[in-house]
Structure formats: C-alpha cells, structure tokens
Amino acid sequence: MRNNIILSPSILAADFSILGKQIKEVEAAGAEYLHIDVMDGSFVPSISFGMPVIASIRKTTDIVFDVHLMIERPERYIEEFAKAGADSITFHLEAAKEPGNVIDKIHSLGKRAGLSVKPATPIADMVPYADKLDMLLVMTVEPGFGGQAYIPESTERIREARRIFTERGLAADIQVDGGITADNAHVVLEAGANVIVAGSAIFKGDIRENVKNMRKAFAAFEK
C-alpha cells in the first residue's frame, strides 16, 4: 500500500504580480496542495513573505495550503499562520526548542503537522516525533532559495525515512522539496516520497503543461 501522490507547487517561483491568477492555474491543472515558503532572513538567508500574503490568497482558493516555515522559534507564530489560512504547517526540527510541543500546538488548532529536516540533519533525529507526524519534509536542497539542483544524497535519506515509518506501522506522508523536476521525480517517488514540491518546474513557462508533465512522471507510481 502506498499513500496518494500529491503535487504541491511552490509559489516562491510564481510571478507575484499575478499571484492569484497563477494559483487558479495550478489549481485548474490539478495540483492538490499549494506550497507556501515563509522565510525569516535568520533561519535562512532570504526573506519571502508572511501572514498578510497568506490571508489574502486564502480568500481566492480552497486548495490545501501547505505552509513551510523556514523561521527561527516557529512556536511563536503557529497560531497566526493557522489563522491566516494554513491547512498544514511544517516547521524545521533545527529551529524549534521543543519540537514535540510545536506539533501538539499545530494539532490543537486542527491543522496537519509537518516536521522538516535540512540536508545535513540526520534522519534519525526525527524518530522521537515520528508517531505524532502527519508529514516529514526531507529537504532535497539547502533551504532558502528556489531553483537549486537536487542533492543526490537525498535519495538514501528519503528511503531511510520511509523505512523508519514503515517499521513502526506509520503511514505518514514524506514530502520532498528542492530541485524536483519531471525528469527526476521518479527517483524520489521510488525512494518513498509521496508529496512532491516543485517551484521552478511548475511556474517557469507554461503552468498547465508543466503540471501535466509532472503528472505523467507520477503515473507509473500510482498503479
């Protein structure tokens, strides 16, 4: 048995001057989630956007908001992101003092909880939280910027994460984020990922065509 394969286009690569329109396009093309990257200029070098942008696009769509917090001490803002319209909130293991409490907080607000690990963080570090998680995000690039290349060592890390969940009888989602294209999606799917984030590969060029190509790459794993 395997979890459904979900496409989560990352709006970091969108044209923000026509963001609402582009969200409609990915939704119409059949994407299930919208990946929303929040960066604080401290946990990662860059700054993206925050609650007001999320609240504003929330009014335009019912698509699942998959919020990826790349911020220090995420516990400070869980309630605000929930209020802004997040359906799923993912924070970084490296950024939280008490990850277990953050997961509980997200759940207490009725949202799905995700935990993310940077490429250098051992996958084993997530084991204490495995049974609480709705999703593990295995970063496949160094977080902070779109348009980077997939780190090949990620494949074995995805496999390890899937093994850990399976051994414990857990069916959590495994998300991958960074450098995923229609050409390499099969690598992460084969390793056990099932929630696929893609920024540049969806928003650069023809959105509808890009979603279609990504779906084609998923098809072999959806039998």
Interaction pattern, residues 105-144, with ligand DX5; x per rule: CB under 6 A: ------------------------------------x-xx
Q: Which part of the chain contacts Zn ion (CB under 5 A), choosing from 26-34, 106-114, 115-123, 173-181? A: 173-181
Q: 40 or 177: whose CB is closer to ligand DX5?
A: 177
Burial track 66-98 (b if 16+ CB lie within 10 A, e otherwise): bbbbbbeebbebbeebbebbbbbbbbbbebbee
Indicate if 104 belongs to the active site.
Answer: no
Asked if 107 and 113 touch (Cβ cutoff 8 Å), the reply is yes
Asked if 119 and 141 touch (Cβ cutoff 8 Å), the reply is yes
Name the pairing type of β-strands 135-139 and 173-177: parallel
Residue in 37, 66, 134, 173 annotated catalytic: 37
Q: Which part of the chain contacts ligand DX5 (CB under 6 A), choosing from 10-18, 57-65, 120-128, 184-192? A: 10-18
197 in contact with ligand DX5 (CB under 6 A): yes
Indicate if 87 belongs to the active site.
Answer: no
Contacts of 106 (CB under 8 A, 6+ apart): 78, 82, 89, 112, 113
Residue from the set 198, 207, 214, 217 that interacts with ligand DX5 by CB under 6 A: 198
Q: Which part of the chain contacts ligand DX5 (CB under 6 A), choosing from 78-86, 103-111, 156-164, 195-203? A: 195-203
* Distance in Å, CB of 15 to ligand DX5, minimum: 14
68 in contact with Zn ion (CB under 5 A): yes
Q: Which two tokens stand for residue 86?
A: 């997040």
Contacts of 167 (CB under 8 A, 6+ apart): none
DSSP state of 126: G
Q: Which two tokens stand for residue 178?
A: 């960074």
66 in contact with Zn ion (CB under 5 A): no
Residues that bind Zn ion (CB under 5 A): 37, 68, 177
The residues annotated as belonging to the active site are 37, 177
